[in-house]
Amino acid sequence: MTYQFVPQYVKDITPYPPGKPIEEVERELGIKNSVKIASNENPLGTSPRAIRAIQKALRTLNRYPDGSAFYLKKTLSAIHRMPPESFIIGNGSNELIELIIRTFIQPGGEAVISDPSFLIYSITVKAAGGKSAVVRLRDDYSYDIKAIIGAITRRTRLIFISNPNNPTGTIINKKDYAWLLRKLPPHVIVVDDAAYREFVRSSDYPDGIDYLRDTNRNLIVLRTFSKLYGLAGLRIGYGVTTTELAGYIERVRQPFNVNTLAQTAALAALGDSVFVKKTLANNQAGLDYLYGALERLNIPFLRTQANFFLVRVAPFLSARQAFEALLKHGVIVRDMTSYGLSDFIRINVGTPAENRKFIREFSAILKTKL
Ligand SMILES: *Cc1c(COP(=O)(O)O)cnc(C)c1O
């Protein structure tokens, strides 16, 4: 059947490439104990405080979740010194991306996205019947803010910035950020996806929430509990914006979009400074180790402000070949071909043992290619 009633823009979507479950990959290849450094997850697990809170909350699962996320918003409000009404909570920040697009883009509406950047933006814009104007990153992988402003038309509603950018790990600096906001026409909103914000070490990083605190701006900052707090499987993230824009997005969401366990865990995780410290220390030590080891192997890579980075596997291997060879050696990495980067794989920092395993197996694979 041709299903002519399915819109062409839905048929045209290239689905987000899903990874197979680790257990399935291991069964197929006959291997065990493989390590996954492909999805920028927290290698140390989940905040123990969050786990204890979840265990308690299991007793309340007969009740609907708190649809207003009252306590979480109250705590976030105190942390960020923004009114509770300026927060929106989502079933992962990915749901917020979808809600924002549904709220502000109608069929025919446009978003400006950069390339390479997070694939979800353009997929979700397409699914809403919108169009994306694609702006290449500059040669140094920074955002081309002049080209972004230049790509705005009468129909543009959203500009997506991933800061730090997935998959390059690069940030937009303070000067460029301020310039972008200054040049923004009143019919356009910047969505600043700061999923990796906590990992940033650069002093030239603009924290979007600082730009919201004193002035009303067409800016939505997204944060997540998936990475730093190790809650990717539970699905919870939040957005901060003006109370007016937050109010519009609130109208579009389902009343119980964020489940009880996710809310409880997020609240507990915010208070887990021990786990946060451990995670950040592991990330920095892991980056130092991986950078050093790759330099010794003469393999180029991009320095990152996040918990993942790009490794150039060409000319020895294509991204696909590197992915497949590493998989057979029990290391799961991200093949960047779907991002248009067929010379690169993306890895995230693992535990020290996982990092060593990656370097060991990768060197072994390279040796057979030299
Ligand atoms: C991982 C990631 C997120 C987090 O998404 P959740 O839905 O909160 O898990 C958001 N944006 C980018 C760019 C990411 O890489």
Q: What is the CATH number of the domain that holds 285?
A: 3.90.1150.10
Give the whole-number percent of the chain exceeding pLDDT 90: 92
**CA 286/CA 299 separation, integer angstroms:** 17
Mutate-to-test residue for ligand 1 from 193, 197, 347, highest number of ligand atoms within 8 A of CB:
193
CA of 69 relative to ligand 1 center, distance in Å: 20
Task: Give yes or no: residues 310 and 209 share one domain.
Answer: no
Q: How far is the CA of 235 from the centre of ligand 1 (A)?
A: 10
Kindly state whether residues 65 and 198 are assigned to the same domain. Answer: yes
Q: Does residue 1 form part of some domain?
A: no
Q: Is residue 4 in a domain?
A: no
Instruction: Provide the number of structural domains found in the chain.
Output: 2
- Residues 89 and 219 placed together within one structural domain of the fold: yes
The tokens for 343 are 């010379």
Beta bridge partners of 335: 345
CA of 94 relative to ligand 1 center, distance in Å: 6
Ligand 1 within 6 A of 166 CB?
A: yes
Q: Which two tokens stand for residue 15?
A: 């689905």
Residue 259 lies in a domain: yes
Whether 124 has a pLDDT exceeding 80, the answer reads yes
Distance CA 132, CA 144 (A): 16
Atom of ligand 1 at shortest range from CA of 226: 9
Check whether residue 279 and residue 204 sit in a common domain: no
Q: Angle at Cα 162 formed by Cα 160 and Cα 168, nearest 5°?
A: 130
User: Residue 294 above 80 pLDDT?
Assistant: yes
> How remote is the CA of residue 116 from the centroid of ligand 1, in Å?
15
Q: Is 263 in the pocket of ligand 1 (CB under 6 A)?
A: no
pLDDT, tens only, 333-366: 999 999 999 999 999 999 999 999 999 999 999 9
In a domain, 6, yes or no: no
Q: Which of 220, 247, 269 is the last residue of a domain?
A: 269
Quick: pLDDT tens for 239-263. 999 999 999 999 999 999 999 999 9
Containing structural domain, residue 356: 15-45+273-369
Together in a domain, 263 and 278: no
Residue 71's domain is classified under what CATH number? 3.40.640.10
Q: Which one of 245, 269, 293 terminates a domain?
A: 269
Is residue 86 located within the same domain as residue 203? Answer: yes
Name the DSSP letter for residue 307. S
Q: Is residue 111 one of the residues assigned to a domain?
A: yes
Indicate which atom in ligand 1 lies nearest the CA of residue 237.
8
The dihedral sign for the CA sequence 231, 232, 236, 239: positive
CA of 194 to the centre of ligand 1 (A): 8
How many angstroms separate the alpha carbon of residue 273 from the centre of ligand 1? Answer: 21
Nearest-angstrom CA–CA distance, 120 and 131: 13
Domain stops at, among 246, 269, 292: 269
Task: Determine how β-strand 87-90 pairs with β-strand 110-115.
Answer: unpaired
Instruction: Provide the pLDDT for residue 127.
Output: 94
Do 36 and 92 fall within a single domain? Answer: no
Residue range 45-86, pLDDT digits in tens: 999 999 999 999 999 999 999 999 999 999 999 999 999 999
